[in-house]
Structure 1
């Protein structure tokens, strides 16, 4: 099994200012050694390490961790997709085979950034190097994400965290419609991850999560869905095992093939592991 979405960091209160004081549970260092026992217990054999810091030094940090820890099977790094020397930077990073794709924190950007031609052109260039792109956004940005994806129909995309639906309010109508539209592009996959963070951290109900799963599995199918934990951010709500149990409970009646797709095949194929 592969966990398609984890983060590692050496906590820096200035650099990591997004981890505010309400998030005390994750205001500390997290390294692969903190995951090994959990992964062994659950028979998870590897993970994708996803950038948490928007500098190229983050790539060096994750590459070093991957060299030291076999559980890291692939890296989603960061590079300035609007840079005039982007092709040169991608060529440089292409020497590091663990880097499978790239991500920018679009949830922190406005529509002008997401829909800018130079940003779309940067993503188009990823195809030359066989790189994937992780889409990180809130549910109220999905209409612009759809426009972005439509500009680059042949790019391999994955939607992080189901597009961050409003799990807490359960106001899912517009999100569901946008998921249906986005999923019509066959080159877009989806990670089921981080929904506990979008819920009421301490008082969420199982049905709230499953309502979101229903939409994702209906429109993407297991061939385009990959399991992820969003560890250690998930710890704001529950231990890792609780999220894993929730996903396995929802999928308990799935076929062996569907489970293999969700927990292994989709991520392996998408990230070329």
Structure 2
């Protein structure tokens, strides 16, 4: 079995005020999730490492993940948070660039207005990433894909990756507008896509593999094996599934691909995109 990288997971010490997005419907994840909780799951499923992604919008969060990575060598990279709209953004990026474990940044754009990524202050922050070799994770709902397409086209040299396949509404089966956006954004050379976060967009209690398949088909038809990577979205996935089930769902789907292409999706693409 080849090495595998989980390109998208989170850690937190649960704080009901700060983490108010984890509401009563998500009781299963209203607790701490730390490296010692993840490591056995990675080992059971042949993963040699992971990329820890911010869940909270603060520089404290970035520092928290950096400190965990310093103590746990299976955390191969950190996608942190920095205020991309801030007037001192270059100074902050310069500060973070001294720490090689930080590979890129993310903003929870799904919680912002649909035109957020087109604002001048945000784009000023995006324009500063490249000089420090930082990536950017695009976290959006599918209705925000038009703005993401515009962003990707405006910054053709900036490496972007779409989180959670841009959150289509799998539960309702609505696919058409999302599919159109995916077809468009996949044409841009600089945009990768994470096969992650799908089970939590489906019906948590009743989803079946067949519910995910049409969405996986679209992703694989539009992004080549060179631009796709696996992310578990642990521990959020626990509200709808478990780690091994999410891994197995993708294993089964890509079983017909060449070993080389499977290895790209499990390992090589994350490694090269994030410079692990």
Return the TM-score normalized by structure 2. Answer: 0.98
Q: What pairs up with 1:1-273 in 2 under 5 angstroms?
A: 1-273=4-276
SS class of match (1:103): strand
SS class of match (2:124): helix
**Retained in 2: the 8 A contact 1:120–1:152?**
no
**What is the alpha-carbon distance in structure 1 between the residues aligned to residue 238 and residue 253 of structure 2?**
20
**Retained in 1: the 8 A contact 2:115–2:147?**
no
**Retained in 1: the 8 A contact 2:193–2:227?**
yes
**What is the alpha-carbon distance in structure 2 between the residues aligned to residue 117 and residue 220 of structure 1?**
29
User: After TM superposition, what 4+ stretches of structure 1 lie above 4 angstroms from structure 2?
Assistant: none
- Structure 1, residues 34-78: CA drift from partner, whole Å, max 9, x if none? 011111111100000000010000111001100111110000000
Return the TM-score normalized by structure 1. Answer: 0.99
Unaligned runs of 5+ in 1: none
**Retained in 2: the 8 A contact 1:107–1:136?**
yes
SS class of match (1:269): helix
SS class of match (1:100): strand
**Retained in 1: the 8 A contact 2:225–2:264?**
yes
**What is the alpha-carbon distance in structure 1 between the residues aligned to residue 225 and residue 115 of structure 2?**
33
**Retained in 2: the 8 A contact 1:120–1:151?**
no
**What is the alpha-carbon distance in structure 1 between the residues aligned to residue 247 and residue 46 of structure 2?**
11
**What is the alpha-carbon distance in structure 2 between the residues aligned to residue 260 and residue 38 of structure 1?**
19
RMSD: 0.7
**Retained in 2: the 8 A contact 1:176–1:215?**
yes
Post-superposition shift, 1:124?
1.0
Between the two proteins, the alignment pairs up a number of residues equal to: 273
- Structure 1, residues 78-97: CA drift from partner, whole Å, max 9, x if none? 00001110000011101110
**What is the alpha-carbon distance in structure 2 between the residues aligned to residue 2 and residue 21 of structure 1?**
31
**Retained in 2: the 8 A contact 1:191–1:225?**
yes
Post-superposition shift, 1:111?
2.6
**Retained in 1: the 8 A contact 2:6–2:231?**
yes
**What is the alpha-carbon distance in structure 2 between the residues aligned to residue 175 and residue 146 of structure 1?**
12
**Retained in 1: the 8 A contact 2:114–2:143?**
no
Unaligned runs of 5+ in 2: none
**What is the alpha-carbon distance in structure 2 between the residues aligned to residue 20 and residue 41 of structure 1?**
29
SS class of match (2:12): coil
Post-superposition shift, 1:139?
0.8
